[in-house]
Amino acid sequence: MKITPNEYNEMTKKASPGTKSYKTIPMAFLIGGLICMAGEGLLNLYQYMGMSKDAAGAVTSITLIFVAALLTGLDLYNTIAKYAGAGTLVPITGFSNGVVSPALEFKSEGYVLGLGAKLFVIAGPVIVYGISASIIYGIILYLFKLY
Amino acid sequence: MEIFKEYMWAFVVGGLFCAVGQVLIDYTKLTPARILVAFVIAGVILGGIGVYEPLVELAGGGATVPLTGFGYLLAKGVKEAVAEKGLLGAITGGFTAASAGLGAAVFFGLIIALIFKQKDKV
């Protein structure tokens, strides 16, 4: 069967259940907002314990990454993500989930090229483009003496 | 009252970032990986032109927890490193600033993937 891209689009539109944005967007807002509020709570807690602002920020990230990795291992993160959509994708916890999920999935293909390599399936592009963007920014700062 | 405001801003700003992500999922064909990449690059640019810093002041975790905050952290790290080391800082600043998050993600990712088993997909 030959189909044009347009026909294909029509077919996928019919086949996939309509996304109910009046539900998905508020859910993403709610869950994502709650995760960020938890982050704010951790930031305050660590600063209260005597850490500097920068250290508290770093430890907050580490904590959120650990919790999300653990929840992914327990298969709970993906369950929440079904309802939260971008609410669990956009926070740093989603990055952690993107590291653990493929690592777990491809463990059966070996510890080096399975787990070790696939751990970077999502983290890799984020690092490549994020770091490169920051280096370009740094070069611009240096050339125009903006620092 | 101050503390209530602080958490409210964290919730609202963080929630809005996620709502933008959801709009991208619902109305474009961007995959989750592309959305994460877009958010990080957006964070570097917004951090670079100086509009993200006030947002961090206002919303705290609401601005630093979303992946745009990771991009902002990269830009901030590069700026400090360039001021300190010149051009070398452009290369080292990003990884230095991101080291806590990346180290944690890689290490916990490995440990968790070693301990747990993939659940059967239904």
Q: Tens of pLDDT along chain A (147 residues)?
A: 677 777 777 776 666 666 688 999 999 999 999 999 999 999 999 999 999 999 999 999 999 999 999 999 999 999 999 999 999 999 999 999 999 999 999 999 999 999 999 999 999 999 999 999 999 999 999 999 887
Domain count along chain B: 1
CA distances from B92 to A71, A144, B78 (A): 32, 19, 7
- ipTM score assigned to the predicted complex: 0.94
B2 HSE (CA, 13 A, CB side):
0
CA distances from B102 to A22, A82, A91 (A): 35, 25, 14
Interchain CB distance below 8 Å, A139 and B66: no
User: Chain A contact for B81, CB < 8 A?
Assistant: yes
Local confidence band at B120 (pLDDT 50, 70, 90 cut-offs): low
Using CA coordinates, name the residue in chain A closest to B112. A73
User: Chain A contact for B88, CB < 8 A?
Assistant: no
Q: Is residue B61 a part of any domain in this protein?
A: yes
Q: Is residue B77 a part of any domain in this protein?
A: yes
CB contacts under 8 A, A 110-139 vs B, are 115-116, 119, 121-123, 125-127, 129-131, 133-135, 137-139
8 A C-beta contact, residue B85 and residue B34: no
Residues of chain B with pLDDT > 70, as a percent, come to 98
Say how far apart CA A137 and CA A135 lie, in whole Å.
5
Structural tokens at position B27: 């109305």
8 A C-beta contact, residue B61 and residue A36: yes
User: Chain A contact for B42, CB < 8 A?
Assistant: no
Q: Is residue B53 a part of any domain in this protein?
A: yes
A49-66 burial: b if 16+ Cβ within 10 Å, else e: eebeeeebbbbbbbbbbb
User: Chain B contact for A43, CB < 8 A?
Assistant: yes
Q: Which amino acid is at B28?
A: T
Note down the domain range covering B61.
2-115
pLDDT of residue B111: 97
Using CA coordinates, name the residue in chain A closest to B80. A147
